[in-house]
Chains A and B, each alone.
Chain A
Amino acid sequence: MTLLQVRDLVKHYHAGGLFRAPAPPVRAVQGVSFDIGPGETLALVGESGCGKSSVGRTVLRLQEPTAGSATFEGIDLFALDRVALRKMRRRMQIIFQDPYSSLNPRMTVGGAIAEGMEIHRLATGKEVGRRVGALLEEVGLDPGYGTRYPHEFSGGQRQRIGIARALAVEPSFIVCDEPVSALDVSVQAQVLNLLADLQRDRGLSYLFIAHDLAVVRQIAHRVAVMYLGRIVEEGPTEALLRAPRHPYTVALLSAVPEPDPERQRARIVLGGDLPSPSHPPPGCPFHPRCFHPLRSERCRAEEPTLRPVGTTLAACHYAETTPSPEMAAAAVSPAAPEG
């Protein structure tokens, strides 16, 4: 029984308006599909410009999709009218990356946490205060902190307050948009533990958006790797990390710094730069930078679809023979980027 089913999600941003010349749209999301079950975490991983944040926001309809569908608890999210959508918002929430802008500086922390309860009329009077205190405690903060203002808290504490705010409306699904990227290492660990505990205690599902594969490994059951608006590989976390099949995943994995001088892996250093999402290359989006020895004309002509390869799904014509970093590093660096 899936909680969330996303099919062929497309999101384009159009620059230019009434008085400006039309520019090519930014194709942030180009046909993304995935499922998330109850109590499960799917990580959406990729570098800047891959579209992962757009996926998160569009799924929650914080932005209108260009095409595609999202079905949550059996309900078609994109067909809801404003009133029904507002009711639905209780069930799906979001926590943000930047702890310094995710809280209204002019609102008390208690006010921020209580806002969801007010909007959805979940509690009144004294009950509100009691629930706010309980939520603060649940995220590991002193229940008396409700009267303070955000600037009195550290980054890690603000993230916890943001989590409490999301929990206040009792959602079953939370989009975590890079929730620990801006935090120090030890604080990051605290928040990751908190998220894991909450998932266990409340049966939450997460769409965990991140760029750090090591963090993802800590919290996700499944991982989907994105590049230029498409999912290029998807599978169970350990399987994907142990035996990646798409060349981009291999490169990404090899670039993750290993905190152990004895175990420095061979690194694939990708040539060229990320193409602009408004001018994606034809065919396979990764082909201009791909180091696969079998890279061919087919890669430029035909966009590969996600298909099962080994233990994961990969979108590559030659995924069966993707070299490991050691083999790839031994080869010469790729030809100059095209397109």
Chain B
Amino acid sequence: MTQALQVENLRVSFPTGDGGRVYPVDGVSFTLDRGRTLALVGESGCGKSLTSLALLRLIPSPGRIEDGSTIRLGDTDVLSLRGEALRKIRGRRIGMVFQDPMTSLNPVFTAGDQIAEGVRAHFDVSRAEARRRALMLLQEVGIPDPLARLDAYPHQLSGGMRQRVMIAIALSAEPEILVADEPTTALDVTVQAQILEVLDRLRERHGMAVLLITHDLGIVAGRADRVAVMYAGQIVEEAPTERLFASPSHPYTQGLFASIPRITGPIGRLSPIGGSVPAPGAWPGGCRFRPRCPKAFEKSETMPPLLPVGFDHRMRCWLAERERA
């Protein structure tokens, strides 16, 4: 069975000050395949981070996952789990790497301790065995001089090393799925390359499914098998990576590509998307991109569903009906 994770119609809501609710994640569906990377791409406020938190049921209160959402891990229904059962899948079956390694590691414990803690949370092993596995994990994530690093405190480690420790912790339970939420955003470009390399290697070796959340299309191009673009709580385009980059079809995706500065190719004035991202409470009716879309037309006033626009390529735009490729 190649499908590791199946998400259908995920909706997350938060209460507003005056009794209503907003839905920062509004009907998101995707699947993760074993040994493959799906990139969830979008700018701030699109709901991608909340989506990843929802997978582990870590939505901070007073937010909640709405009924009608489905999250299936293999044949386990994640949303129906309670207590101990839920705790068991966190880390053990789905691991998570967070964005900011500076604040995600506990400053008063050594790296080795934190990794070993991860091991012992999911496997019944002795302290010595946990430490041994922690050392192995550090080697696997490519930290130089791992024996010394085992007893280092987070503040003694550089950003890149801390992120590797976070990955080691996430791997300590040998999860089937790894969720990496902007794992390299806080890191320098050369370190970024190192970390992405590590993630790739580990994915291949362990056959994990990886959900890579990022706003950087450059990272996506090199590392992801499939891409889903999010805007205002919804997926607006999804396709295999080559297809998406070869023919971005949704006007938002096209706008994103036009506004990225390039390191090669011709330089011209960038064409940014006009306006700004609306907040969850202020979404326009109909297609949410309509106010900023250069190709909006009358039908845009109705919310489009995801429509096919090529083989294995869908977008949430009525223009798909015109461009059946």
Chain A residues with CB under 8 Å of chain B are: 47-48, 154-157, 184-190, 192-193, 196, 211-215, 217-218, 241, 251-264, 267, 269-274, 336-337
Contact = CB atoms under 8 A, between A and B. Distances in A.
B41 to A, nearest CB: 10
A211 B276 contact: no
B221 A258 contact: yes
B221 A186 contact: no
5 contacts: A185-B259, A187-B272, A196-B269, A218-B267, A261-B241
A263 B264 contact: yes
B276 A187 contact: yes
Interface stretch (B27-35, B107-115, B153-161): B153-161
Contact of A241 (B159, B241, B263): B263
Contact of B271 (A184, A189, A271): A189
A211 B188 contact: yes
Given A262-B242, A273-B158, A186 B194 contact: no
A118 to B, nearest CB: 30
Contacts of B271: 189
Given A218-B267, A257-B216, A263-B264, A189 B190 contact: no
Contacts of B193: 254-255, 267, 269
B259 A186 contact: yes
Of B260, B263, B273, B276, most A-chain CB atoms within 10 Å: B263
Contacts, number: 129
B interface bracket (residues with beta carbon within 8 Å of A): 35 or more
Contacts of A214: 218, 260-263
A193 B276 CA distance: 15
Q: Which 5 A-B pairs have the closest CB atoms?
A: A257-B218, A189-B272, A189-B259, A47-B188, A189-B270
A48 B261 contact: no
Contacts of B7: none
A273 to B, nearest CB: 5
Binding site of A, secondary structure by majority: helix, strand, loop or mixed? helix
A264 B241 CA distance: 13
A259 B159 CA distance: 24
A215 B260 CA distance: 8
B141 to A, nearest CB: 14
Contact of A259 (B189, B218, B270, B277): B218
B279 to A, nearest CB: 9
Interface string B218-235: 111110000000000000
B73 to A, nearest CB: 29
B137 to A, nearest CB: 19
Given A48-B188, A218-B270, A257-B216, A189 B261 contact: yes
B54 to A, nearest CB: 22
Given A211-B189, A217-B261, A273 B161 contact: yes
A258 B220 CA distance: 9
A193 B222 contact: no
A185 B260 contact: yes
Nearest to B186: A48
A187 B246 CA distance: 24
Given A193-B272, A253-B263, A185 B256 contact: yes
A186 B188 contact: no
A256 B192 CA distance: 9
Contact of A258 (B222, B259, B276): B222
Interface string B183-225: 0000011111110010000000000000000011111111000
Nearest to B223: A257
Contacts of B246: 262
Which of B43, B192, B269, B270 gathers the greatest number of chain A CB atoms within 10 Å? B270
